[in-house]
Amino acid sequence: MFQLPELGFAYNALEPNIDGRTMEIHHTKHHQGYTNKLNAALESHPDQQSKSIEDLLRNLNQVPESARMSVRNNGGGFYNHSLFWEVLTPGGQGQENIAPQLLEAIQDRFGDLESLHQQFSEAAGKRFGSGWAWLSLDSAGKLVVTSTPNQDNPLMEGMTPILGLDVWEHAYYLNYQNRRPDYVSAFWDLINWNKVSDNYLNAQK
């Protein structure tokens, strides 16, 4: 059974960038809902229950067809939000918190951190409707910025996400209404670069 992970901070700890009410609803209603529905989808498939969430999502074609769409949507929702909470930290962190190996990879690929920021914001802004923006390692180990619709994620495309941003309206509407770019900008100031660096280093093992 998959379990809703705890947040590493209080619901209101990300204010003013992300308001406490949004965080509470997002965690206790949305993320809990995906978790419950993922478990329900796997209930009648005991052979799938020992798999990690990464394994399930990387190999959706090995999930029985009757559960596949639910695992894609709800398993995606479970995984995506678990990653999202971990790459946020109250007050955010700066370039000095980026591991040297990751900073070098960012500079190689994008030029500098600001250029990555611009490309990421563009991916988040252009995603039509509900979805996510990502920084991932592709199958060759190169950094890449993408976006996905709904609760899809880079695991489903053979990549490993290290940073993700939820751009569903439920993530920002109470505070930002239709101003997604302002939310994306506020998110960038909350990034836990220590954690993103860990994700990068772990993805290379």
Binding interface with Mn ion (CB under 5 A): 30, 166, 168
- Pick the closer one to Mn ion by CB: 149 or 158: 149
Q: Which residues share a beta bridge with 103? A: none
Our CB check for Mn ion shows the closer of 113 and 190 to be 190
Structure tokens of 86? 């971990």
CA 20 vs CA 2, 12, 81, 187: distances in Å: 25, 4, 16, 14
Residue 83 contacts residue 178 (beta carbons within 8 Å): no
Query: Quick one: 31 or 51, whose CB is closer to Mn ion?
Result: 31
Choose between 79 and 120: whose C-beta lies nearer to Mn ion. 79
**At closest approach, how far in Å is the CB of 171 from Mn ion?**
5
Question: At closest approach, how far in Å is the CB of 146 from Mn ion?
Answer: 18
**Rounded distance between C-alpha atoms, residue 160 and residue 54, angstroms:** 9
The closest alpha carbon to 101, from 143, 72, 133, 69, belongs to 143
Output the smallest distance, CB 140 to Mn ion, in A. Answer: 30
Provide, rounded to whole angstroms, the least separation between the CB of residue 81 and Mn ion. 6
* Cβ pair 133, 124 in contact under 8 A: yes
Which is nearer to Mn ion, 58 or 131 (by Cβ)? 131
- CB of residue 77 to Mn ion, shortest distance in Å: 7
First to last CA, the chain: 27
For residues 79 and 110, which CB has a smaller minimum distance to Mn ion in the complex? 79
Indicate the residue whose CB is closest to Mn ion: 166
Enter the tokens of residue 7.
């947040």
Smallest gap from residue 64 Cβ to Mn ion (A): 26
* Cβ contact 33:170 at 8 Å: no
CA nearest to 93, candidates 172, 196, 21: 196
